[in-house]
Amino acid sequence: MRTPEAPPSPAAPASPPTVDPADPVWDAACRAHVLTDAERATFERDGFLVVRSALGPDPIAKLRAVAATVDSEYRTEPGIGPYHVCNQHDLFGRDEVYLDLIDLPTTFPKVFGILGWHIQCFHTQLIVTPTAPAGAIAGAYGWHQDNNRMNLDLGAGIQPRVSVKVGYFLTDLPTRGMGNLCVVPGSHLSGRPTVPFGEQPPGAVEVTAAAGDAIVFDRRLWHSASTNRSPQTRVFLTVGYSHRWLRPKSAMDLGPLRDSLPPIRRQLLGATTSPNAWFDPTDDDVPLRAWIAANLGDDAVIA
């Protein structure tokens, strides 16, 4: 008697993709905005790079609407007056309008062109600066480098880059005196700032920009807030990127939403296969590496 054939084994489930599902619009946009040799030279020389028209009118309007709501709620808190600066951190889990900034094609290729593929989002911040009171001192105040304690622990002298920020201008800043970001070009190679509070270092400039422009800057760059002496409220938003082994400054907690996002966004929001993957990643931990190789070539993959 013939033994019946065993039924075929069920097919093994497909492995999750290590590169974002085909999104030709995003892919093409990223390829169109890769860091150029001229931009790299500017960034290495000055410590920052301005990206014009990084955001279009629709996302600007949406982000400003969210910022207005946040600022309005902030003004109701005890002890907060009309001149206090609203400073909110950890944005991604607060409103989905922020999610497209994680891998925005006009700026994100600049970031991985500078830092490479082993990166994450480690910090986000919204700053709403109202008109200062009459008689407020003009100019910058509080010159610093980012990452606080890191600067002391790494010691004196020129420190490693470690992270960069992308700052989005959500209001027009055509002239000085509007609460502009202030920077000292080239100061990322000058060690820690020793500028007394209220004084201006040589070479300091106030960055002017149109709404929708962005600035990518090295965390070592000397920079400062400044007084807004204009009648307009200034709105500025930053997304910080770092190597994945740096502890994040923001929680980046999206709950179950993170698992529904494309792989590269999950990488940037802290998804990992094991604790050791922060230091020795597998392909599944860093789908950005495969995307760069597939779209820009193996030569573009920074070791």
SS3 annotation, 147-186: CCHHHHHCCCCCCCCCEEEEEEECCCECCCCECCCEECCC
Average pLDDT in the 209-228 region?
A: 96
What string of H, E and C letters represents the secondary structure of the chain?
CCCCCCCCCCCCCCCCCCCCCCCHHHHHHHHHCCCCHHHHHHHHHHCEEEECCCCCHHHHHHHHHHHHHHHHHHCCCCCCCCCCCEEEECCCCCCHHHHHHCCCCCCHHHHHHHHCCCEEEEEEEEEEECCCCCCCCCCEEEEECCCCHHHHHCCCCCCCCCEEEEEEECCCECCCCECCCEECCCHHHCCCCCCCCCCCCCCCEECCECCCCEEEEECCCCEEEECECCCCCEEEEEEEEEECCCCCCCCCCCHHHHHHCCHHHHHHCCCCCCHHHHCCCCCCCCHHHHHHHHHHCHHHCCC
What domains sit in the chain, N to C, each tagged with a CATH number? Answer: 24-150+157-243+260-298 (2.60.120.620)
133 pLDDT more than 50:
yes
d(CA 46, CA 90): 28
Q: pLDDT band for 19, please (50, 70, 90 cuts).
A: very low
For 94-125, what is each residue's pLDDT tens digit?
999 999 999 999 999 999 999 999 999 999 99
- How remote is the C-alpha of 170 from its chain's centroid? 15
Q: pLDDT band for 251, please (50, 70, 90 cuts).
A: confident
Q: What is the pTM of this model?
A: 0.90
d(CA 286, CA 82): 45
Q: Do residues 225 and 140 touch, judged by C-beta distance below 8 A?
A: yes
Residue 135, pLDDT score:
87
136 pLDDT more than 80:
yes
